[in-house]
Amino acid sequence: MVSGDGGSKVHHKWEQGVNEFSHFIDGLTYPSDLEADPFVGSGTTGVAAKRLNRRFIGADEDEASVNTTLARLAQKPDPTEI
């Protein structure tokens, strides 16, 4: 069971919490591994991967989702979301 703060839904209606995704990425991968997300939505997987020193590649058919993800990845990491 993973406890977390849930998604804020600020960036996307299906947004999930970065802390929860970080738990799985940290436990199932190694630093510098490549994380792939074919449906980036709000970019939660990419943000978590970046914060954990993983590489990331993502795609989405929705241009707004891709732009949201790019904007989030360009931001300085929030130290409360690790």
Residues 27-72: pLDDT tens digits? 999 999 999 999 998 899 999 999 999 999 999 999 999 999 999 9
**Nearest-angstrom CA–CA distance, 82 and 75:** 14
C-alpha neighbours within 13 Å on the C-beta side of residue 9:
3
**Nearest-angstrom CA–CA distance, 58 and 40:** 6
- pLDDT value, residue 2: 72
Task: Supply the CATH classification number for the domain 18-74.
Answer: 3.40.50.150
pTM of the model: 0.82
